[in-house]
C-alpha cells in the first residue's frame, strides 16, 4: 500500500497492534469531536429538552392537553408546565431520562398553586405521574414531542387605559334563569339545553320570571382560520339553539374567559374580544358570563378592571343587548368597579357547592356588600344549588330566602327535567321571588343576631319591607321578637311568604318556631 509505505512502523508493533491503535485513535477522535456536543447536550440540551404534550381527547372533539416545555442541563431541569389554563414555572426540576421530578408553581392572585410530576423517558415518550394531594392515587400521563410553541403562553397584550363603560340598560332587577354548571359541568350539550328550555317554558318557572338559559363552560371548540370562535361537537349549531330557546320566549346565555383558556381548559376570548362579542351577537346570545380563570397568568388582579372593560366595550359595540356577568370570585373588591366596566352583576365569592356550609358561608357573608347593589348591577353570591340533593328542602328554602333577601340573581342550577314538585315549589315561590325582584333593588342587611338566629331586613318599594328570620342552628328554635323591633305596628299588613298567609299582629311580640336550618320570611306593608 503506497501510503502506508511512507510510514515506518516501529518494529516492535505487530499489524494487529497497529489496527488496535488506529481504532483507538479513531475512537478518540470521534469521542473528542463529540465531547463538546455531549457536554453541551448534558449542560444545556439533555434528551429531555423540548416541548412535550400529553393529550387526552374529550368526547366533544376537543383535546385536554398538558404541556411540558423542558430544558435539561445535566441533572437540572427548568422550563414550564401548562395544565389546561394553568401555566406553572418549574421551580425545582431534576433528574434525567431514567427518572426525573418536576415541581411547578404559579401565582394565583395572592396565593400560590403547585404541581409535581414524576417521570421517565420510555422510547420517545415521557411517562409521567402526578397527584393532586400526596394521599391521592397517581394520575398517569404519556407525553409526546410537540412542535415548538404549541401550548405556549401567548404574548401579553397590555391592558387598555380605564374609562367608564356606558350602562347597557339591562338587568333592572336581578337576572333570573338557569345555568348548566352546578348540575352538568362538562356534560352539558345541545339536547340537554333544549330539554331544560322546554321544561322551564312550561312548568311555571317562566311565568315566575325565570328567563335566561345559560350555557356555562365546555361549549367551546377552538377557532377557524379567521380566528372565529367555534363550538364543539356537543353544540352543533349555536344559532339554531338560540332560535329554539327564543321561540320558547326565553333567552340564551353563554360563557367565556378573558384569558386564552377557560377554567375547564377550553378556548377563551383572549385577543378576540370584539370578534367573539360579534359572534355571540350573531348567534343571538343574550347573556355572557366572563370568567377570569385563564387570564390569571397574564394579568395581575389590579389589572382586572381594564381587562373586563375590554369585553364590556366589545359587547356594547356588538349592538345586541347582552347581560354582562363578571366572574372573578369577588377579588379586588369587584363590587367597587364592576358597574364601571359595564358589568350587570359580579360574583362576590368562590364557587358554591351543594352543602349547607358552603351555601351559608357565602350567603350570610354578603351583608357589607349591600350598598353596591342596585338596578342594573348586582352582587352575585353564585348560582342556586336548590334541588341538587346535597341539602334538605328546609335548607333549600333558606337558600332561596337568603338569595331573595340579598337581591341576588336567581339562576337555578339543577336538572329542571327531573326535580320533585317540592323543589319546583321552592323555586317558583312567587312571594319570595317578588322580594328578590323588587324594583327598588335594595339589597337586604343583617338587622340583629342572637346566637344562631339572625334577622335580616330588606326595604321594598311601596314603603314595604321583607323580614327573614333565619335559624342557622341544627335544632328547632322558638323565636320571640317584639313587633316593634321588627318595625311592625298594629296597622301593618304582615304576610308569611312560605305559608302564603296573613300573620295577625296581636299582643306585643311575634313568636314563631323555626326548624333547624330553617327560615320564616315575612312581607310587611303599611
Q: Where in the sequence numbering do the catalytic residues fall?
A: 291, 351
Q: Which residue is associated with the grid cell 374567559?
A: 257
| Span interacting with ligand GLA, options 34-42, 78-86, 258-266, 483-491, rule CB under 6 A | 258-266
Say whether residue 287 binds ligand GLA (CB under 6 A): no
From the list 217, 267, 286, 380, which residue makes contact with ligand GLA (rule: CB under 6 A)? 217
Q: How far is the CB of 328 from ligand GLA (least distance, A)?
A: 9
Return d(Cα 324, Cα 168) in angstroms, integer: 9
Minimum Å gap between C-beta 510 and ligand GLA is 38
Which stretch, 77-85, 140-148, 262-270, 446-454, contacts ligand GLA (CB under 6 A)? 262-270
| 54 makes contact with ligand GLA (CB under 6 A) | no
Nearest alpha carbon to residue 296 among 156, 151, 130, 91: 156
**209, 188, 192: which is closest to 410 by C-alpha?**
209
> Under rule CB under 6 A, which residues in 152-211 are in contact with ligand GLA?
181
Q: Does 380 bind ligand GLA (CB under 6 A)?
A: no
Which residue stretch of 132-140, 162-170, 219-227, 256-264 sits at the interface with ligand GLA (rule: CB under 6 A)?
A: 256-264
Q: Which three cell numbers stand for residue 1?
A: 500500500
The least CB distance from residue 185 to ligand GLA, in Å, is 7
Query: Any idea of the CA torsion for 123, 124, 130, 136, to the nearest 10 degrees?
Result: -40
Q: Is 291 in the site for ligand GLA (CB under 6 A)?
A: yes
End-to-end CA gap in the chain: 123
Nearest to 324 by CA among 364, 366, 273, 370: 273
Footprint of ligand GLA on 321-350 (CB under 6 A): 327
Give CA 460 to chain center in angstroms: 33
Count of residues interacting with ligand GLA (CB under 6 A): 9
If binding is defined by CB under 6 A, does position 220 make contact with ligand GLA?
no
Q: Smallest distance from the beta carbon of 266 to ligand GLA, in angstroms?
A: 8
The gap from C-alpha 474 to its chain's centroid, in whole angstroms, comes to 31
User: Is 436 a binder of ligand GLA (CB under 6 A)?
Assistant: no
Strand order from edge to edge, sheet including 378-380: 378-380, 345-347, 323-327, 287-291, 251-256, 212-214, 176-179, 410-412
The answer to whether 216 contacts ligand GLA (rule: CB under 6 A) is yes
Contact call for residue 267 and ligand GLA (CB under 6 A): no
Nearer to ligand GLA, 180 or 471 (CB): 180
Residue with cell 358561608: 361
For residue 29, the cross-strand partners are none
- In degrees and rounded to multiples of 5, residue 332 shows phi and psi of 55, 35
Residues that bind ligand GLA (CB under 6 A): 181, 216-217, 262-264, 291, 327, 351
Amino acid at each position: 500500500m503506497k501510503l502506508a509505505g511512507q510510514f515506518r512502523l516501529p518494529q516492535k508493533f505487530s499489524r494487529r497492534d497497529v489496527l488496535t491503535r488506529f481504532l483507538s485513535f479513531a475512537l478518540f477522535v470521534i469521542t473528542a469531536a463529540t465531547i463538546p456536543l455531549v457536554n453541551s447536550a448534558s449542560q444545556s440540551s439533555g434528551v429531555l429538552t423540548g416541548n412535550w404534550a400529553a393529550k387526552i381527547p374529550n368526547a366533544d372533539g376537543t383535546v385536554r392537553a398538558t404541556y411540558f416545555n423542558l430544558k435539561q442541563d445535566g441533572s437540572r431541569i427548568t422550563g414550564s408546565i401548562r395544565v389546561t389554563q394553568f401555566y406553572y414555572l418549574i421551580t425545582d426540576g431534576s433528574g434525567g431520562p431514567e427518572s426525573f421530578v418536576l415541581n411547578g408553581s404559579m401565582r394565583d392572585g395572592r396565593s400560590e398553586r403547585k404541581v409535581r410530576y414524576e417521570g421517565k423517558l420510555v422510547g420517545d415518550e415521557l411517562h409521567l405521574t402526578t397527584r393532586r394531594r400526596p394521599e391521592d392515587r397517581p394520575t398517569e400521563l404519556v407525553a409526546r414531542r410537540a412542535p415548538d410553541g404549541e401550548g405556549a403562553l401567548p404574548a401579553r397584550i397590555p391592558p387598555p387605559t380605564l374609562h367608564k363603560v356606558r350602562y347597557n340598560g339591562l338587568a333592572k332587577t336581578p337576572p333570573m334563569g338557569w345555568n348548566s354548571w352546578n348540575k352538568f359541568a362538562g356534560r352539558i350539550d345541545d339536547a340537554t339545553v333544549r330539554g331544560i328550555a322546554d321544561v322551564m317554558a312550561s312548568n311555571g318557572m317562566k311565568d315566575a320570571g325565570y328567563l335566561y338559559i345559560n350555557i356555562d363552560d365546555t361549549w367551546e371548540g377552538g377557532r377557524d382560520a379567521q380566528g372565529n370562535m367555534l363550538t364543539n361537537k356537543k353544540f352543533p349549531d349555536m344559532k339554531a339553539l338560540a332560535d329554539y330557546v327564543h321561540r320558547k320566549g326565553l333567552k340564551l346565555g353563554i360563557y367565556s374567559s378573558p384569558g386564552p383558556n377557560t377554567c375547564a381548559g377550553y378556548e377563551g376570548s383572549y385577543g378576540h374580544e370584539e370578534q367573539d362579542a360579534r359572534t355571540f351577537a350573531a348567534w343571538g346570545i343574550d347573556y355572557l358570563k366572563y370568567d377570569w380563570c385563564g387570564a390569571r397568568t397574564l394579568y395581575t388582579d389590579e389589572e382586572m378592571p381594564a381587562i373586563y372593560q375590554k369585553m364590556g366595550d366589545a359587547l356594547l359595540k356588538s349592538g345586541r343587548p347582552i347581560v354582562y356577568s363578571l366572574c372573578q370570585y369577588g377579588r379586588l373588591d369587584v363590587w367597587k368597579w364592576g358597574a364601571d366596566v359595564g358589568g350587570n352583576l359580579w360574583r362576590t365569592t368562590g364557587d358554591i357547592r351543594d352543602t349547607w356550609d358552603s351555601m351559608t358561608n357565602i350567603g350570610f357573608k354578603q351583608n357589607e356588600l349591600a350598598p353596591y347593589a342596585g338596578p342594573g348591577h348586582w352582587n352575585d353570591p353564585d348560582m342556586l344549588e336548590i334541588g341538587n340533593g346535597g341539602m334538605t328542602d328546609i335548607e333549600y328554602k333558606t337558600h332561596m330566602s337568603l338569595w331573595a333577601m340579598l337581591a341576588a340573581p336567581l339562576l337555578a342550577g339543577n336538572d329542571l327535567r327531573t326535580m320533585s314538585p317540592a323543589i319546583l315549589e321552592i323555586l317558583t315561590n312567587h312571594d319570595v321571588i317578588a322580594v328578590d325582584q323588587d324594583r327598588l333593588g335594595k339589597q337586604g342587611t343583617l338587622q340583629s343576631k342572637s346566637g344562631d338566629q339572625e334577622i335580616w331586613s330588606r326595604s321594598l318599594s311601596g314603603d314595604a319591607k321583607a323580614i327573614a328570620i333565619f335559624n342557622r342552628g341544627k335544632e328547632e328554635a322558638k323565636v320571640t321578637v317584639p313587633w316593634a323591633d321588627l318595625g311592625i305596628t298594629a296597622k301593618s299588613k304582615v304576610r308569611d311568604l312560605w305559608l302564603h298567609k296573613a300573620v295577625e299582629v296581636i299582643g306585643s311580640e311575634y313568636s314563631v318556631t323555626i326548624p333547624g336550618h330553617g327560615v320564616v320570611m315575612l312581607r310587611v306593608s303599611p
